[in-house]
Chains A and B, each alone.
Chain A
Amino acid sequence: DGGITQSPKYLFRKEGQNVTLSCEQNLNHDAMYWYRQDPGQGLRLIYYSQIVNDFQKGDIAEGYSVSREKKESFPLTVTSAQKNPTAFYLCASSTGTLQQTQYFGPGTRLLVL
């Protein structure tokens, strides 16, 4: 089955710790995105990548980092610099630029201990 997988489903972070969220797609999509969703809110873009080895900051990139070494994978690291990391993180992909239909993974819930 083609789709987007995210792992883990739940993640707990201790103060001062970096954690990495996984996102993999087998849709052969060029573009991938990371969004953050807070309770009762819409999604906000953290980072996006339109091609391997290239990525751009979204609206709320501070405290996050990404890499795009393979077309299928776009991991997100939540660093200790992100002071309020508790949120629901969603990964998406599309065939091309932002002007395309986006498909989402099931999400990762990050909680700070």
Chain B
Amino acid sequence: GIQVEQSPPDLILQEGANSTLRCNFSDSVNNLQWFHQNPWGQLINLFYIPSGTKQNGRLSATTVATERYSLLYISSSQTTDSGVYFCAAANQAGTALIFGKGTTLSVSS
């Protein structure tokens, strides 16, 4: 099945800094999602982005399907951005979203 790898595993930022999180996947996908898990465990869907670019406030995401990667950009980071960011993907033959191991982001004031 499809494999999903995220980098970096950990990221420490000062408030106001920008960051880029990367997700590589091993096969073509028709479903690619980014999630944020807060310190209490709640998962929030950030983007459904199997291809192209989307923006939502300070967050944006780009998926280059032909090169099998997706990027999540966080600009002007805030302490509330802390948590774990997951990328999850599925291909047409797959029966499940496959999650990466996540990037743990810590933003300090």
Contacts and interface: CB of A to CB of B under 8 A. Distances in A.
Interface residues of B, number: 23
A103 B33 CA distance: 11
B42 A98 contact: no
Contacts of A42: 4, 86, 88, 99-102
B21 interface: no
Interface of B: 4, 30-31, 33, 35, 40-45, 48, 86, 88, 90, 94-97, 99-102
B42 A40 contact: no
Nearest to B4: A42
Nearest to A101: B48
Nearest to B50: A99
B43 A104 contact: yes
B33 A102 contact: yes
15 contacts: A42-B86, A42-B99, A42-B100, A43-B86, A48-B96, A58-B96, A98-B90, A98-B94, A98-B97, A101-B33, A101-B45, A104-B45, A106-B41, A106-B42, A107-B41
